[in-house]
Structure 1
Amino acid sequence: MIKLVIADDDPLVRQVLAVLLGAEPGMTVAGVAGDGLEAVYQARLHRPDVVLMDVRMPGHDGVAATRTITGWPAPRPRVLVLTTFDQDEVVDRAIRAGADGFLLKRAAPAEIVAAVRTVARGDGLLAPTVTRRLMGILAARPASVEHGLTEREAEVLTALADGRSNAEIAAAMKVSVETVKTHIKGILTKLGVRDRTQAVVWAYRSGFIRR
């Protein structure tokens, strides 16, 4: 059972998401929040698997709440950011806060459900539209492409940038999922990033991935 907390300052959005996800087999909504402080409180109280986090909320916003939650020791709730991309700066801050996934609010219901399941099982998620936007944002801030990755690690990072799960990468490379996880750990260490989402962002920003 995937336990959820939904944080959004719009009561209607909270209600729609709660109804949608609460009716989904294998999911339950443990709590809702209208701002970042309440989101942190609900996450601490219920210890959900996933927090759906609005970025722009009054007071303690979603970025600050995300930073707090992702800073907790493992196992911690995963954070799926819901955003409208009103401001590029907000997107960049959310990335640096350590969010595990990004999804546009206008995504179809099936996409939202799939995103929750993806993030809950430990995979990162960048919706295609989000990836394209990030490429535009980060292109203006190039970084060194030197990385020290092995050939296999580079292959895994490319697959991560394509949005593939650990299982999909393992099948394509004809290795075990544990081997893929080992490669990912090596990637995170060598790039000095905290999770797979930030690794993908690094790949686009540095020019490692060019599309």
Structure 2
Amino acid sequence: MLINRLELSTLDLIPQRDYYANVLELPVHLEGDSLLVKAGKTDLIFHQAPSDWTGEYHFCFNIPENQFPYAKAWLSSRIPLLKDDKGNDEFKSQSWNATSLYFKDVAGNILEFIARHDQKNSVNSPFNSGQILQVSEIGLASKDVIAFAKELCAKLGVSVYKQDPNDTFTPIGDEDGLFILPVEERIWYPNTGVPARMLPVKVDVEVNGKAFRLEGVPYEVR
């Protein structure tokens, strides 16, 4: 599953533009009430939210499977990394065969770099923003995770990823693109204090050559 386009809301476009251009060094274009960030294969778009809007998203970027230590050094020289309650700032998943780190943008969104070691995408050049390959995860909260996962799997033709369905946290999709489904109000990992909420999104995905769009609150697939 490829996430081709991800549209989110934010309160202030100018700091977001400066962050994604200067910290992550990604191509950006601000026009009117929208900010386009080119994140590898994904168009990441922030729309101006109303002044009373609140909320933080979780989304993730794939990086080459062999570049985690270099990506960590590159990013940690620019901004603080998020840590768990034991002070760890890198996280290895045996079941996913992946290594991750977490950080925040200026809007408080929980971002992630993940190196998925089963992917054959190694590179030998020093890490830079060109190795941010795509948005590979977006968090979508719900009140009934298992029912929501079942509905999305049926409509998209995908499966639960590397675990059994769980009523507090279930990922669906594959290593190129995942919908991360937590129960509403579950705190985003690691130790962020940020609850998962049903926030407005628009996601264009491609599954086996077919295009789908998920949007709205509650979320619907079209």
TM-score by length of 2: 0.29
The structure, 1 or 2, with the larger RCO (C-alpha pairs under 8 Å, 6+ apart) is 2
More helix by share: 1
Q: Tell me the TM-score normalised to structure 1 length.
A: 0.31
